[in-house]
Amino acid sequence: MIKFMVDRAADIEKETAEHYGIEVLPFMVNMDGEGIVADKDMDIKEFYDKVKACDEIPSTSQMSPYDVETAFRRIGKEHQIIYVSISARGSGINNTANMVAEQLKKEEGFDITVIDSGMFAMAIGYPVIEAAKLAEKGASLSEVIDFLNESFKRNTAYFIVDDLTFLKKGGRIKATTMAISSLLDIKPILMINDGLVEAYKKVRGLKKAMSVLVGYAEERMENPEENEIIILDTDAPEKVEILEKMLRDKVNPKGFIYSKVGPVITAHAGLGLVGIYFKHKKPYTEYEK
């Protein structure tokens, strides 16, 4: 039987993880000298409030190799494991998991597959949930792995942040990205590309920036009438409301899924983020050629 594993960066809600038997590895968020176990020590609203009040930009720390090994041993005795990690360029947890998995496979015959999603937030979580549904229907290990790899190759998230301070500090954005002027109300349009966040367009004003996101969905979304758009945010309900209305008017997808970005990614992206994730007609990298 296949058992799926992710880390907290995947933003899969507790109830959903429990329903599909998805194991979620913890991350630690460090804020003003205090260590917080992401999504465990406080709910997301409490965490957002704490970010607003903190003096320093938060940082994150991953599980130790011992903890990863303990989790693999506990689950892998009776299951084939597929662990889908946060982007390897955004965290060392993928490297740690690969090292531990190779040791357990070589020495004790465990069946563990480690996949680098190259993604963050529900751009990780949604494909894993869909993969779990496939496994429930009888898909083989290789079929599920192929589905996940194809999803991460094809689909990405696009989003807007108020500024790049958190992303620059945390090293999750390409160093070549442009400077953003808050005085001119310039909003960066960002995407997850090649395992990092990339800013590749800037526009003036929030409504214009949202129109760019909607334009991407109009151009790139596969069969909107059959698929959903995930709207992501970090404590930005007003922006979600505006973006949803624009998407309904222009794209009219089958439905919407609303995902509050969790502590791990919020620590590196900051508050006020809003974005979208959806199924693409072709690999997202081909649209920029």
Cα 177 from Cα 31, distance rounded (Å): 26
Cα 25 from Cα 27, distance rounded (Å): 7
What count of Cα atoms within 13 Å lies in the side-chain half-sphere of residue 53? Answer: 6
pTM of the model: 0.92
Q: Which spans in the chain are helix H?
A: 14-20, 44-53, 65-76, 93-108, 122-136, 141-154, 165-170, 206-220, 237-250, 263-269
- Token pair recorded at residue 139: 């898909």
- Mean pLDDT for all residues in the chain: 90
Could you tell me where in the chain the CATH 3.30.1180.10 domains are found?
Answer: 157-288
- Which CATH code, of 3.40.1190.20, 3.30.1180.10, 3.40.50.11720, 3.90.1150.10, is assigned to 157-288? 3.30.1180.10
> What confidence tens digit (pLDDT) does each residue in 72-103 have?
999 998 999 999 999 999 899 999 999 999 99
State the pLDDT confidence band at 5, using cuts at 50, 70 and 90.
very high
Residue (of 258, 200, 253, 257) closest to 234 by Cα position: 258
For residue 255, give the 3-state DSSP assignment: strand
> What confidence tens digit (pLDDT) does each residue in 172-225 have?
555 445 455 455 677 888 999 999 888 778 888 999 999 999 999 999 999 999
Could you tell me where in the chain the CATH 3.40.50.10440 domains are found?
Answer: 2-27+62-154
Domain 2-27+62-154 belongs in CATH node 3.40.50.10440: yes
